[in-house]
Amino acid sequence: MAEIELQGMQELLNSLTDLGKRGKRIENKALLAAAKPILDAAVANAPVKSGKGQAGLKIGRIKSKGDTKTVLIGIGKGDISEIFYMKFHEFGTSKMPAHPFLQPAYESKKAEAIRILKEEFRRGLGL
């Protein structure tokens, strides 16, 4: 599972905190929007047999821990959903080498994700 983390940018975070619930909505909307191109790239790169695995890849719920927010994209090592087998492709097994599709998607789209974060923050703050 690839992650996008929102850290630092203390002035921006302080401004969003000062806005209360509205600030949290802006943060969450920005994170979800930034995760979308990464998910799209992961789906495009995912192995296809029936298409069920690709369709099951998702953007997870936003989690907060201290000043850090994370959003999980795709499928994690501990995922026990209907598409649990996709983690075998991403991470490999003792009998099968890894054929990553999530990490390359993250690497190829992280600059776009950061650009989207900035745009969404500006839009949400009316800048």
pLDDT tens per residue across all 127 residues of the chain: 555 555 545 666 666 666 777 878 888 899 999 999 999 999 998 888 777 778 888 898 888 887 788 888 887 656 667 788 888 888 899 999 999 999 999 999 999 999 998 899 888 877 7
pTM, 2 dp = 0.79
Q: For the stretch 47-63, what's the b/e string if a residue is b when 16 or more beta carbons lie within 10 angstroms of its beta carbon?
A: eeeeeebbebbbbbebe
DSSP string spanning 18-57?
Answer: HTTHHHHHHHHHHHHHHHHHHHHHHHHHS--SSSHHHHH-
Determine how β-strand 68-74 pairs with β-strand 2-6. antiparallel
Q: Where are the domains of the chain?
A: 2-125
User: Is 116 in a helix, a strand, or coil?
Assistant: helix
